Structure 1
Amino acid sequence: MAHEQHAELIQTLHDCAAACNHCFDACLQEDDVKMMAGCIRLDRECADMCAYLEHAITRNSPFVAELAQACAVICEACAAECSKHEHDHCQKCAEVCAKCAEACKNVA
Structure 2
Amino acid sequence: MPVPRLSPGDRVRVTISATAVRSGPGYLELSPRTYIEFESEDDLDVEVIAGLFRCGDVVTDGSRTLLRTVVVRDSGTEAYWTAADGSVVRDDEVRPEALRLLLRIA
Q: TM-score range by the shorter chain?
A: under 0.3
The structure with the greater share of residues assigned to strand is 2
Larger radius of gyration, structure 1 or 2? Answer: 2
Q: TM-score, normalised by structure 1?
A: 0.23
Q: TM-score, normalised by structure 2?
A: 0.23
Give the structure with the larger helix fraction: 1
